[in-house]
Structures are given as C-alpha cells and as structure tokens.
A = this chain, B = another copy of it.
Amino acid sequence: MLYFIGLGLGDAKDISVKGLEIVKKCERVYLESYTSILTCGQKQLEEVYGREVILADRDLVEQGSDVILDGATSADVAFLVVGDPFGATTHSDLVLRARERSIPTRFVHNASIINAVGCCGLQLYKFGETVSVPFWTDGWRPESFYDKIALNLEREFHTLCLLDIKVKEQTVENMMRGRKEYEPPRFMTTQQAAEQILAIARRRQSADTDAVAPLPIDQSTPCILVARIGADDQKLVYCTLGEAAEESMDMGRPLHSIVVPAKELHEVELESVNWLKLRQD
C-alpha cells in the first residue's frame, strides 16, 4: 500500500492522529521536499514521528519514482506531503503511476494554503482562480499571473497568490556541465512578489498612456500578506501593494503568500480585514 499523507502547514504536530499511526507502521517513509516546506525541519519531524524519514527531491519523485513504488508492492510505504496530498500536480502523477502498477493507494488529507487562507477573514467560496507568481529571470518575465488577478478583480473574486519556491535548482552552467551542484533554496517574499506585480502595472500604464479606464491594479490596491500560516508565529498584514513592495515590509521566514481581495467585501469580511488593520496600527 502507498499512503499519501498530508502534513498540514505548521510543524510536525500538524499531522493527523490517523496519519501518525500510519507513519509509525510503514516500512519506509518519504518526505516530499520541493513543492513546499514546513516551518520545522526533517529532524523535528523524525523526533515527533519517532522514526527515520527519507527526503524525496524532485529527481526522485519525477524520474526515480520506481524506487518509491517498488517498496509499495509488498510493504507499506508512506509519502508525506506538506499541506494536502493533492496540492501539487506532481503527486497526482505519482498516484497515476502507482495505479498503473496496481499498487493500492490511500490518502490522508490535511489543511493546505487553499483552505487555511480563510484565516485572513475572507470567504473561501469567493476566491477565484489561484495564481502562482514565479521568480523572474533576465530573459523570462511572464505576466500571466497579473492578468489572472485582474480578471478575478473584475469578476469580484479574491485571488490567492502562491509565491515561487526554488529548492535544489541548478544554474544553467552546472546543468550543462552535468554537475550535480545546487543553488541554496530560495523562497519568494511578499515584497518580491509585490514588486513584480507593480512592475507589470507600471509597464502597462506607460504602454497605454491614452487609456481612459484606470488600470485594475496599482500602488493603492489593497492586499493581505500572509506568512507561515498555521505556525505559532504566523503573520498577517493588511496593506496596499505599494506598502508591500517596500523593503521595510519584512514578513520574516518563509513561506509567504499574498491575497488580493475583491473590491467589494461582505460585512463580516470587512470587519475581519479591518481587525487585521487595527492590530497593526
């Protein structure tokens, strides 16, 4: 049996009682380590779980998945995922490969940012499409996330912006030389994301100086910055995109996300968001 177990968002104790029982009895336990991170490390997980945990990087899961699956034909293997097991496409892929080999699978769900973001006080059912904000490079500056946020605003939906994570990435040079040397992990901050969003807004503004209608997104667009949701030191800040882009707006350790709320808020939403504002002042 191959178990996919969600770990939730905070620390080692966010695993469910059911999930922990399974982890304890499995022959091998893998921890997916490249689409998200817990605020605690592998060591703390191993202490709480009382057993060894094998780190599974992208190569192992995407190219070497047979190693994981081989064990699961005859014994119980657990694949631990930060958040919920269905948070990332890669895991659906592993599920399909297990099914091809007739390996039975089971899932233990947990919180993911998709639902835990409700803690900012906005109603979950009013979120439109979730967007991913990727790290820009010199030659690659995609803008599709901006259009999706704008479209959600137009349709009166909130937008959850997930920020890029680079774990175990190679430089182009190292990749070309076949050197298995990796860059230090990078996690996009709310500040970097706000900068990228505003850079697009500025570019469009200058490209379209005759526009009558104002752009849907600018310095004054309200946003909620969220950091380390579910952890003891989670932080929520309600401000404008302009403020979010300032260097002084430090949200601390990863992971960060940004929520762009719809223009019109429900009474309870408004009260919740204002409470965030009050707490900051």
User: Cα distance A109–B125 when bound, in Å?
Assistant: 17
Are B112 and A115 within 8 A (Cβ)? yes
Contact between B84 and A111, CB atoms less than 8 A apart:
yes
- If the complex has contacts A109-B9, A109-B230, are A92 and B15 also in contact, measured as CB distance less than 8 A? no
**Residues of A1-45 whose CB lies within 8 A of B:** 6, 8-11, 13-18, 20-21
Contacts of A99 in B (CB 8 A): 275
Tell me the complex Cα distance, A17–B129, Å. 31
Tell yes or no: A126 within 8 A of B by CB.
yes
CB of A208 to closest CB in B, whole Å? 25
Could you list some 5 contacts between A and B, CB below 8 A? A8-B109, A16-B110, A85-B119, A125-B129, A128-B128
Q: How large is the interface on A (under 10, 10 to 19, 20 to 34, 35 or more residues)?
A: 35 or more
On A, residues with C-beta under 8 Å from B are: 6, 8-11, 13-18, 20-21, 48, 83-87, 89, 92-93, 95-96, 99, 107-112, 114-116, 118-119, 121, 123-126, 128-132, 157, 229-230, 268-269, 271-272, 275
Q: Number of copies of this chain in the oligomer?
A: 2
Minimum CB–CB distance for A233 against chain B, Å: 12
A11 nearest CB across to chain B (Å): 8
Expressed in whole angstroms, the Cα–Cα distance for A110 and B108 within the complex equals: 11
B118 to A272, Cβ gap below 8 A? no
Taking a contact as CB atoms under 8 Å apart, the answer to whether B9 and A96 are in contact is: no
A281 CB to nearest chain B CB (Å): 15
Q: A92-B121, A124-B87, A272-B92 are in contact. Are A13 and B8 (CB under 8 A)?
A: no
Distance A85 CA – B229 CA, assembled complex (angstroms) = 13
Residue with the highest number of chain B CB atoms closer than 10 Å, among A10, A11, A109: A109
Indicate which residue in B15, B95, B275 contacts A17 across the interface (CB closer than 8 Å): B15
Whether the Cβ atoms of A6 and B111 lie closer than 8 Å is yes
